[in-house]
Structure 1
Amino acid sequence: MVLGVAKSRLAVERSNWRKDRPFGFVAKPANAPNGEVDLFTWHCKIPGPAGTCWEGGLFPLDMTFTENYPTAPPCCYFPAKFYHPNVYPTGLVCLSILNAEKSWKPGMTVKQVLLGIQELLKEPNNGDPAQQDAWEDIDMNPREYERKVKLQAQRYKA
């Protein structure tokens, strides 16, 4: 029964995304090995916020949902070793809206999550670091942080 709720909600999310998605963003369910659409795994791309050192990048992100969605938040992953203070070395995004014990609300949408992650690129939370190098750079050597972010934006050029 729970699986049906999650699948139905994700089907609605997919339909809503097709009708109203933010400019430059990509989000689509993966294809399962049998060729069917896998609503529980989405491949996304988040544009770097304009006017920041992230600008020009189109950053790949995978969202995985469980059968407990929307009660439980999705897990969101950038590629491993993605450079950002709030991204673990595995690529897992550390953001309060993705934490069921903090700010996750079942009414949150894929669109809201992706916009929240884009905002996190622009405004890292140094009070909740997930990665030592980026956290130290942004705090002690902002120019080095910006240089590394610009290199990463080039690597994921839009």
Structure 2
Amino acid sequence: MASGGGIARSRLVEERKSWRKNHPHGFVAKPVTLPDGTVNLMVWNCVVPGKEGTDWEGGYFPLTLQFSEDYPTRPPVCMFPAGFFHVNVYPTGAVCLSILSSAWKPSITVRQILVGIQDLFDHPNPASAAQDISYRLFTKNKAEYKKRVREQAKRYPPVV
């Protein structure tokens, strides 16, 4: 095994411990458990709740974090389901957020990524649009944009 992979895995073990001790309410972040019962630390299934008082409220949005052997030098790839409606989410589901690209620092934690993505829900960055339809509605028809967001939130009810 490459030494880089060792660094990535040991950091992810620490992230997992830290998350279990203390994480924001409504959020989920855990490594994938494989059919044989082993845990794949390099892929995490997460849930990012919509903030109360926003059009995203009531939605619990599934997100996958895919870590490379170069983590934490390189950020994880963060993916919503394909077709996720948001100005800064590509049609593939990939999230476009500065802390996941140009502003990435190895000190950024899983918690900071998920809270940053939650914040992005209600504060999209039209200057870095990744999706044409949501960008057009966000900039030209806010009422329809908000309606679409609320409809999407209903499609992702709490899993409990």
| TM-score interval, smaller chain | over 0.9
The corresponding residue for 1:72 is: 74
Whether 1:150 aligns to 2:150 is: yes
Q: Distance in 1 between matches of 2:32 and 2:75?
A: 18
The Cα of 1:96 is off from its aligned counterpart by 0.4
How many equivalent pairs are there?
A: 156
Alignment of 1:75-114 (within 5 A): 75-99=77-101, 102-114=102-114
Structure 2 counterpart of 1:106, which letter? P
The corresponding residue for 1:61 is: 63
The Cα of 1:33 is off from its aligned counterpart by 4.2
Mark the runs of 5 or more structure 2 residues left unpaired by the alignment.
none
Q: Distance in 1 between matches of 2:150 and 2:12?
A: 34
Structure 1 counterpart of 2:43, which letter? T
Tell me the TM-score normalized by structure 1: 0.97
Mark the runs of 5 or more structure 1 residues left unpaired by the alignment.
none
**Backbone CA RMSD of aligned residues:** 0.7
Moved over 3 A (4+): none
Structure 1 counterpart of 2:125, which letter? N
Q: Distance in 2 between matches of 1:3 and 1:33?
A: 22
Structure 2 counterpart of 1:73, which letter? P
Q: Distance in 1 between matches of 2:37 and 2:67?
A: 19
The corresponding residue for 2:132 is: 132
* Residue-by-residue CA offset, 1:73-128 (whole Å, 9 max, x unaligned): 000000000000000000000000001xx100000000000000000001000000
Q: Which secondary structure does the structure 1 equivalent of 2:42 belong to? A: strand
Q: Distance in 2 between matches of 1:93 and 1:149?
A: 16
Structure 1 counterpart of 2:143, which letter? R
